[in-house]
Amino acid sequence: MAESIFFTLATIIVLASLMVVFSDNPIHSVLFLFVVLFAMAGLYVLLNAPFLAAVQVLIYAGAITVLILFVVMLTSPYIPSVKLLESKQSDAALLVVVVFFGALSQILRTSSWFDPGLKTAPKVVKTAKIGEILFKEYVLPFELASVVLLAALIGAVYMVSGVKWR
Amino acid sequence: MIPLSYYLVLAALVFCIGLFGALVRKNAVLVLLSLELMLNAIVLNLIAFSNFATPVTIKGQIFSLFVMVIAASEIGLGLAIVLFLYRKRATIEMDKFTELKG
């Protein structure tokens, strides 16, 4: 059961992420990214992380995709002439990616993580436990993350507003 | 159950697809999209390791929450930069921004 769900989701993720990269129309790319993020949320549920699945759907699939969609509509009209494979870099990029993937899979095969005897956690992690750990052990990083978010927000607003800093 | 290596291989595949996109696409927004793909592959890795290696302390899940926060601020700032460039130069093709070549 779990295997068939995993393989369905994995196929969806790989095909949709290929479409994100290879689609000519930027709007289609964003919509396929939405599919990837949603299927990833399904995998998080399989990995006993329902809270992160919910966060993924709410923040990534909900907010970030819509934000990117707005920017795509504001900046790039559909230009069919921008063909991907005519890019001068694509051969070199393909080489880099193939070498990188080969190195990654080599590391994977020789590591102890490849052992099929590894077992998953017996039960689902409760959301209350995540909150407990987050606010007991990781309070300082949590506050720092909020400062980073605030700084990014102010920076984004300042950059787009066009106000000169004097 | 599904072994850990399946998740790692899937994450490596998605990461490589995202890397290819980030290297090849000319549209700046699509480069950001490819970055999002790569970040998601990393988050998948972290959650898989959290499930298999630290199921009690769930360090990977906590860490992936922070990765999501940073990714959100990164995409916000990146899109602001893209809009700024579009207003200044009326294009967002990466090949056109060559001022730093010297």
CB–CB of A145 and B66 under 8 A?
yes
Q: Say if CB B44 and CB B35 are below 8 A apart.
A: no
Q: Say if CB A68 and CB B32 are below 8 A apart.
A: yes
Is the CATH number 1.10.287.3510 carried by domain B4-96? yes
What are the domain boundaries of chain B?
4-96
Q: Say if CB A42 and CB A12 are below 8 A apart.
A: no
Nearest to B62 among A60, A108, A134 (CB): A134
Neighbours of B51 (CB within 10 A): 25
CB–CB of B13 and A101 under 8 A?
yes
Query: What mean pLDDT do residues B22-30 have?
Result: 86
pLDDT, chain B, mean:
87
State the residue for tokens 């080969």: A102
- φ/ψ of A26, rounded to 5, equals -60, -30
| Mutation to test the B interface, candidates A159, A161, A164, most B Cβ within 10 Å | A159
Q: How confident is the model at residue A121 (pLDDT cuts 50, 70, 90)?
A: low
Report the gap between the CA of B89 and the closest CA in chain A (Å): 11
Q: Residue A17 corresponds to which tokens in the numbers above? A: 């992420």
Among all residues of chain B, which has the CA nearest to that of A150? B73
Q: What ipTM describes this predicted complex? A: 0.90
CATH of A1-77, one of 3.30.413.10, 1.10.10.10, 3.30.1340.10, 1.20.120.1200: 1.20.120.1200
CB–CB of B37 and A17 under 8 A?
yes
* Residues of A in Cβ contact (< 8 Å) with B24: 21, 84, 87, 89-90, 93
* Residues of B in Cβ contact (< 8 Å) with A2: 1-2
Q: How confident is the model at residue A11 (pLDDT cuts 50, 70, 90)?
A: very high
Query: What mean pLDDT do residues A71-78 have?
Result: 78
pLDDT at residue A80, rounded to an integer: 54
Beta bridge pairs of residue B93: B27
Query: Which is nearest to B11 in space by CA: A165, A133, A104?
Result: A104
Neighbours of B20 (CB within 10 A): 25
* Residues of B in Cβ contact (< 8 Å) with A48: 51, 55
Q: Which residues fall within 8 angstroms of residue A5, CB to CB, at 6 or more apart? A: A42, A46
Neighbours of B77 (CB within 10 A): 16
What are the domain boundaries of chain A?
1-77, 125-166
Q: Residue B7 corresponds to which tokens in the numbers above? A: 């998740």
- φ/ψ of A134, rounded to 5, equals -65, -40
Size of interface A-B (CB pairs under 8 A): 215
Cα–Cα distance for residue pair A74/B90, rounded to 1 Å: 11
Cα–Cα distance for residue pair A69/A26, rounded to 1 Å: 9
CB–CB of A121 and B68 under 8 A?
no
pLDDT greater than 90 at residue A33 = yes
B 30-59 near A (Cβ less than 8 A): 30, 32-34, 36-37, 40, 43-44, 47-48, 50-52, 55, 57-58
pLDDT at residue A86, rounded to an integer: 53
CB–CB of B17 and A17 under 8 A?
yes
Cα–Cα distance for residue pair A131/A129, rounded to 1 Å: 5
pLDDT at residue A108, rounded to an integer: 86
Model pTM score: 0.89
